[in-house]
Chain A
Amino acid sequence: MTASPMIDVDRLRVSFGDKEVVKGVSFRVPAGECFGLVGESGSGKSTVLRALSGLNGAWSGRIAVAGAEVGPKRHRAFFRKVQMVFQDPYGSLHPRQTIDRILSEPLLVHGLGDVERRVAATLAEVALPAAVRFRFPHQLSGGQRQRVAIARALIAEPEVLLLDEPTSALDVSVQAEILNLLADLRRQRRLTYVLVSHNLAVVAHLCARIGVMLGGEMVEELSAEDLRAGRAQHPHTRELRTLSVGLEEV
């Protein structure tokens, strides 16, 4: 790896009040690769993504994207380049805007034309029927809302996608379609992903490298292959793996 990585996080720390919830986390993601974040609920995974995405400015350490160091405040160009899909799609979709408006907005903000075609094409990409286009978020099922959130992140053609549990609300057939779509985009457009998920099979399917978090620290970084083969070092990783494999044996 000679070129600088697309994402470089070095000793990231985040506190709320006097409680430190991310305690010096470091990882790098080369362009066109996917990095997985797994680990205990409440261990700081979403907080890491929010600091990366520029939503939370109260962090210390070093974050660089595409070779350029970024601070707490980001420029508009950054938000075109880096998009996030939130864990809680309901809270992140404006309740009084139709799906059409929600998807058109990023195009207008970034001055992209061809709105009509792009909205229709992106809805199709996430396997949503055209009929949902003029509905409001509360008129959709949980999984349909999740797909709107994914469509909104994709529509302005970002280079980096930060995905927080993007498929946990989806049935496994739609999940497969979304995972294939993400894999295709990575190949075709060389997108870079950070993917948070509790589903180890999903993470290992898409990501070559995986970081395991526990209590605000990244306790282990390993390859998907090592995780599959059971070559994990940390007890938390091993426990997660054992439970996951145990369920697979139907």
Chain B
Amino acid sequence: MLVDIADLRVTFATRTGTFEAVRGVSMRIGTEKLGIVGESGSGKSLTARSLMRLLPANARLSAERLTFDGIDVLNADERTMRTIRGRRAGFILQDPKYSLNPVMTIGRQVAEAWRTHKGGGRREAEEAAADLLDQVRIRDPRHVMGLYPHEVSGGMGQRVMIAMMLAPDPELLIADEPTSALDATVQAEILRLMEDLVTRRGMGLILISHDLPLVSHFCDRVAVMYAGRVVETLAAGELARARHPYTRGLLDCLPSLTHPRERLPVLARDAAWLQP
């Protein structure tokens, strides 16, 4: 098993006491595409960050088991974690432009990401960077390589992050809302690229997304999170037949191009959903 998480908990100390943001999450991920959907603030990003041990300083992490390819992430030293982060596991963060270095050109950042893992000369890295940007369908990659992060559009920033994460051929890719700023044509291309990495190189993928139709078409399995817990796990194709009232409610809130409605239904959240 590539990833094995059992009873993961993330807690914050606040002025008024402690706040448990992740409340006992368990999941196992192999060479597959796992989608995570769910409420805003339900702990999706914190779950992914725990696996890389990239949590805010005021967070406390505990788990019965938290392993990546057999490595105990809870107790691994910093050096081991560095070989995982960015090399064996790529992490596309939710705020792509914020995660890029604002004072370094796009070209240098992608080239350096490539060189750190592949070695080789500057010229070679530059060629590779142009190729990676081309793969994520950036138009005119040579021009974009000379731009700074604030000079590219939201979707271009997202694709730059994706290109950097693909550079080291990761065994696991964690993608937190990787295509939310992309138009449907570019999104389709990026998903094809990820699909290819999963099937051809045997990569595992954790895709965090609010886009239920996308997850149901693209992933193998879907975990639905609500208030710090996984409330339901389904085969992705079965999403439309979800049983948990939260998941059903979500599906009902979706606006549709072909079936317009005057007003969208909203969820009446039930206190019972908070219980395991």
Asked if B151 lies at the interface with its beta carbon under 8 angstroms from chain A, I say yes
Given A171-B40, A176-B265, also A198-B250 (CB < 8 A): no
Name the distance in Å between B45's Cβ and chain A's nearest Cβ: 6
Asked if A204 lies at the interface with its beta carbon under 8 angstroms from chain B, I say yes
B153 touches A90 (CB 8 A): no
Asked if A172 lies at the interface with its beta carbon under 8 angstroms from chain B, I say yes
Stretch at the interface among B26-34, B67-75, B126-134, B254-262: B254-262
Chain B residues positioned under 8 Å from A204 (CB to CB): 255, 257, 260
A142 touches B40 (CB 8 A): yes
Chain B residues positioned under 8 Å from A227 (CB to CB): 257
Closest residue to A134 on the B side, CB-wise?
Answer: B15
Asked if B174 lies at the interface with its beta carbon under 8 angstroms from chain A, I say no
Given A171-B39, A173-B253, A201-B257, also A243-B154 (CB < 8 A): no
Given A141-B45, A170-B210, also A202-B255 (CB < 8 A): yes
Asked if B38 lies at the interface with its beta carbon under 8 angstroms from chain A, I say yes
Distance of A228 Cα from B257 Cα, bound (Å): 6
A:201-250 near B, CB below 8 Å: 201-202, 204-205, 227-228, 236, 239-241, 243-245, 247-248, 250
Chain A residues positioned under 8 Å from B41 (CB to CB): 140-141, 143-144
The interface of chain A, by Cβ under 8 A from chain B, is 16, 19, 38-42, 45-46, 87-88, 90-91, 138-144, 147, 164-165, 168-177, 179-180, 183, 198-202, 204-205, 227-228, 236, 239-241, 243-245, 247-248, 250
| 5 more CB-based (< 8 A) A-B contacts, given A87-B181, A198-B181, A248-B257 | A90-B95, A173-B266, A240-B185, A247-B213, A250-B217
The interface of chain B, by Cβ under 8 A from chain A, is 12, 37-41, 45, 56, 94-95, 97-98, 139, 143, 151-156, 159, 177, 180-188, 210, 212-214, 216-217, 239-240, 249-250, 253-258, 260-261, 263-267
